[in-house]
Amino acid sequence: MDIECGNSLPKLGGVPARIKSEQAGWFLCRYWHLSKPPRPRSRSGTPPNLGGELCLGLSWLMLAFVAATTFAAPADDLRLIDAVKSSDRAAVRSLIEKRGDVNAAQPDGTTAVAWAANRDDLETADFLIRAGANVNAANEYGVTPLALACTNRSSRMVERLLKAGANPNARQWTGETPLMICARTGNAETVKLLLSYEANPNAKENEQGHTALMRAVAAKHSEVVRTLIEGRADVRARSNGGFTALLFAAQQGDIASARLLLAAGADINEATPKNGTALVVAAASGREDFAIFLLENGANPNASDTYGVTALHYAIPRGIAGIDSVSVVFRPYQEVPPDMQKLVKSLIAHKANPNATIAKDFPPYSRSPYALQTSLVGVTPFLLAAAAADVGLIRTLLEAGADPQMKARDGATALMMAAGVGRIDERENEQEEANAVEAAKLALMLGNDINAPNDKGRTALHGAAWTGANAMVEFLVEKGANLNAKDRGGHTPLALAAGLAPRGGDSASLVRESTMALLQRLGAQPLPPPRTGTR
């Protein structure tokens, strides 16, 4: 799932604005998050997203007061700016009394009143304003004193500047307005002030089309969300990527904001063409409690994203990670909770389809080219539970009507999933391997064929040998697995354990010596000698 992102951090003269990091901005990344994640995701291919837009990815800065591209004011006129920067109020008074130019600017356009706003120095700002300072003077990036006051969450400075005529709708080159900044930094009082001076609550910034309401939700500022809604913010407005404020709330797991949005008319089943509904986004972002909240308020339990992935699929993240190998190659995925049993049970209680199938593979960047891949197309929640080696979940899905005989499009069965087909590496510990054996036992009891191949000719034993799952190897052979079955590349399980099939990343040229020895002891035919080249 794509995750929508953004990041603002104003600077002044190359110096970061005086603001705590937790107040400084929101950061949602455009990334795939099961969390897409993120931003976030927060895939469907959150996450968070937050990623769809919702993460964690590309960020943009509210570049302020940094580079010099215009002629500087005379040195004498810059003394006032220097006095404000150094918080020397006596010097500021003296220079103003000597009729120093209160609107003199640094090469980048920074004025003394901008520095006063940055310092949150209300007394100095008042001196300058009464002396004729232009409160709408912007630097070359369009950053005004009001924008800096909003960054600092300073309601007193915001009020003083507005009373002096500051434009509440002034835009930076990014299209960001003071209201968006105040919404992001989370001071409801400053937001209320701006709205009282006719700030536009539905203005959008240029890059992703975010509104102030989206910014507030993304930062989980529910009181700001309430204030914006009271100020007639459009709860159904969409970003350039199709995200609404409710979808951002789903990405972030912000139930308080979601309640306000739904009460104000947001559609609980609104969706983007790519990322699905808020329920799908929440499940993909690992927001279990939020997803349950949506179900309890009427969300469609069978909605899917553009890949056909439903919330029930996303509620089994370890299964997707096992098949897709995404957790190995994409760090944000690892931030998703490994277990969402409560959500699975809630989805089933709300009539989610346990036999829903994934329609398309996720984007290539989420796949490892070196795993014994099984296509995600046709994969059901039951197959994911088998891949996750979660026997309890397998039984829960069976009770809900899951068909244990359903296969992925490439012919992969639940037994193959449990055995390791589709994985890039071994399971994390002995307990997980023991769980996988139990899942394999259950799959056999339910009628899976132990020697069935997928469309690449690989059997469950190929998967076990590839991942070095010795306990699984022993179990499968004991139950009649063909030790010498060859895949379409001519590789037997022993050949895979010997590292003869291509691998990559941390698994490059990996040889499973103990698995090789085990297979040979169990009766596997020896590998042919390597060919010698001739001239």
Residue type for position 249? A
The pairing of strands 11-12 and 15-16 is antiparallel
Which secondary-structure segment (H or E) carries 443?
helix 430-445
Alpha carbons 468 and 462: distance in angstroms, whole number: 10
* The CATH number of domain 368-535, selected from 1.10.3330.10, 1.10.10.10, 1.50.10.10, 1.25.40.20: 1.25.40.20
Alpha carbons 36 and 360: distance in angstroms, whole number: 16
Angle (deg, nearest 10), helices 391-399 and 341-349: 0
| Tens place of pLDDT per residue across the chain (535 aa) | 555 544 333 333 333 233 222 222 222 232 223 223 233 233 333 322 333 343 322 233 333 333 333 344 555 578 999 999 989 999 999 998 888 899 999 999 999 999 999 999 999 999 999 999 999 999 999 999 999 999 999 999 999 999 999 999 999 999 999 999 999 999 999 999 999 999 999 999 999 999 999 999 999 999 999 999 999 999 999 999 999 999 999 999 999 999 999 999 999 999 987 889 999 999 999 999 999 999 999 999 999 999 999 999 999 988 887 776 554 334 444 567 878 999 999 999 999 999 999 998 866 444 555 455 677 899 999 999 999 999 999 999 999 999 999 999 999 999 999 999 877 677 778 888 999 999 999 999 999 999 999 999 999 999 999 989 999 999 999 999 999 999 998 999 999 999 887 654 444 457 899 999 999 999 999 988 876 554 4
Residue type for position 247? L
Predicted confidence at residue 28, as pLDDT, reads 28
Alpha carbons 136 and 115: distance in angstroms, whole number: 13
Model confidence pLDDT, tens digit, residues 416-431: 999 998 776 777 788 8
Query: Which 3 state secondary structure label does DSSP give 376?
Result: coil
Predicted confidence at residue 51, as pLDDT, reads 34
235 Cβ neighbours under 8 A, 6+ residues apart: 213, 229, 244, 245, 246, 261, 264, 265, 266
Phi, psi of 28 (to 5 degrees): -120, 125
In the numeric block, which tokens belong to residue 412?
């992969």
The pairing of strands 11-12 and 276-277 is unpaired
Predicted confidence at residue 45, as pLDDT, reads 31
Beta-bridge partners for 304: 310
- Do 293 and 387 contact (CB within 8 A), yes or no? no
Query: Which 3 state secondary structure label does DSSP give 18?
Result: coil
* pTM as predicted: 0.82
Asked whether the domain spanning 368-535 has the same topology as the one spanning 1-66+147-312, the reply is: yes
Q: Domain 1-66+147-312 classified CATH 3.30.420.40?
A: no
Predicted confidence at residue 493, as pLDDT, reads 95
- Do 10 and 62 contact (CB within 8 A), yes or no? yes
Closest CA to 44 of 320, 237, 249: 320
Query: Which 3 state secondary structure label does DSSP give 310?
Result: strand
Domain regions of the chain by residue span: 1-66+147-312, 368-535
Predicted confidence at residue 4, as pLDDT, reads 59
48 Cβ neighbours under 8 A, 6+ residues apart: 3, 28, 33, 35, 36, 37, 38, 39, 40, 41, 42, 54, 55, 56, 251, 252, 253, 285, 286, 287
Alpha carbons 343 and 288: distance in angstroms, whole number: 6
The residue to which tokens 């600077």 are assigned: 11
Alpha carbons 133 and 146: distance in angstroms, whole number: 13
Alpha carbons 436 and 420: distance in angstroms, whole number: 9
Phi, psi of 506 (to 5 degrees): -70, -15
> From the CB of residue 207, how many other CB atoms can be counted at a distance below 10 Å?
15
Predicted confidence at residue 25, as pLDDT, reads 28
